[in-house]
Copies of this chain bind each other. A is one copy, B any other.
Amino acid sequence: MTSSSSPSSPALGVGLIGAGRMGSFHAATLAHRLPGVRLAAVADPVPGAARGLVDRLGAPAAAYTDIAAFLADPEVEAVVIATPARTHAELVVAAAGAGKAVYCEKPMAVTLAEADRAIGAARAAGVVLQVGFNRRYDAGFRAAHEKIVRGDIGTPHLLRSLTRDPKLADPAPIPPWTVFLETLIHDFDTLRHLNPGATVVEVFALADALVRPDFKERGLLDTALVTLRFDNGALATAEASFQAVYGYDVRGEVFGSAGMLTMGEVRRTHLTSYGPEGVGAECVGYDQDLFRDAYVAELADFADSVRTGRAPSVTGEDARAALAIALAAIESVRTGGPVRPAPAAETAAETAAGGHG
């Protein structure tokens, strides 16, 4: 025998806020799937929610209902925010204010002012701020980005990104404009990411309540089609539906001067069945099936960013840019015409500083 292992550097303590569906997945990742990372604490204002999650995971982590207490826990070196969208920006500001590195689920904010405050707070605190555009970490989308950056398909001319959720269980709690702010925000980021360096200068959106017309008067739109024009000439569509009966459908396409790339996989496995009805396969039913590895990879990347001090791969500015497109799309639906998105906030730091003053 050659003796027991010498300890390597201590694991990074990460705390999670929000013990819901996505939060539970992230908690399991932090507890079990990332070498050098440990789940230090979970916070959720719902009594028992954080405790229940910690117990289910069998993780030696603290459980909080009070966010301030959670943020004061010195074991929590970095924070993962997986709460409802409307609370994100405020929590980013609070976590950054407490000196914690922050990973925030998309959308980071639902107004540009909020986005600027969040970006400013992280900048002021000098902490990492990463946003949950997980598709960038998916193997296929990532390889597409690499090929595009390398010039394999020349200059992008026509792009497409779509998101179709598998079912619309209960539309009642869904806020208006969710299709733009929470669903298509992914596609807007994907389109920006796959047309690197270009800026969206025109947005035209059509949206309707086709899945649940009975919720239209409450403002719930469940189907949307958005057209974008970039400043390098590229034209793009982003498309969403809240209900694809066949499963969870996320695809992309980039057509360029020298080739095309398509991304997306609706098949659950590599099994194909042949019978009297024809040839077929089962579809992916759930985002956590399709993007399981991407969800893990983005937190691994976040942890690496925190440990090494390098800039995060997906920034608050990325979140703001996608939000600006989403807000332009909403404005387009309201006005019935094309809209130019708000420009990037070059002065985000000053704005936020001013907001603090």
* A binding-site residues for B, Cβ under 8 Å: 1-9, 28, 31-36, 50-51, 54-55, 57-66, 69-70, 73, 139-141, 143-144, 147, 152-153, 155, 157-158, 164, 202, 204, 206, 208, 210-211, 223-225, 227, 229, 233-237, 239, 241, 243-247, 249, 255, 257-283, 336-338
Contact = CB atoms under 8 A, between A and B. Distances in A.
A258 B275 contact: yes
Contacts of A245: 257-259, 275-276
A278 B223 contact: no
Number of copies: 4
Given A5-B60, A69-B1, A272 B282 contact: no
A1 B64 contact: yes
Nearest to A292: B293
Q: DSSP majority for the A interface?
A: mixed
A69 B245 CA distance: 58
Contact of A32 (B35, B69, B244, B265): B35
12 contacts: A1-B66, A4-B62, A5-B60, A31-B35, A32-B33, A144-B271, A202-B206, A208-B233, A223-B235, A246-B260, A258-B275, A263-B271
Contacts of A54: 5
A265 B259 contact: no
Contact of A275 (B4, B259, B264): B259
A269 B139 contact: yes
A232 to B, nearest CB: 9
Given A211-B157, A233-B208, A279-B283, A246 B259 contact: yes
A245 to B, nearest CB: 5
Contacts of A268: 139
Given A3-B63, A255-B164, A261 B274 contact: yes
A63 B241 contact: no
A274 B283 contact: yes
A338 B266 contact: no
Contacts of A227: 204, 206, 225, 227, 237
A261 B272 contact: yes
B338 A60 contact: no
A139 to B, nearest CB: 4
A334 to B, nearest CB: 14
Nearest to A154: B245
Contacts of A69: 1
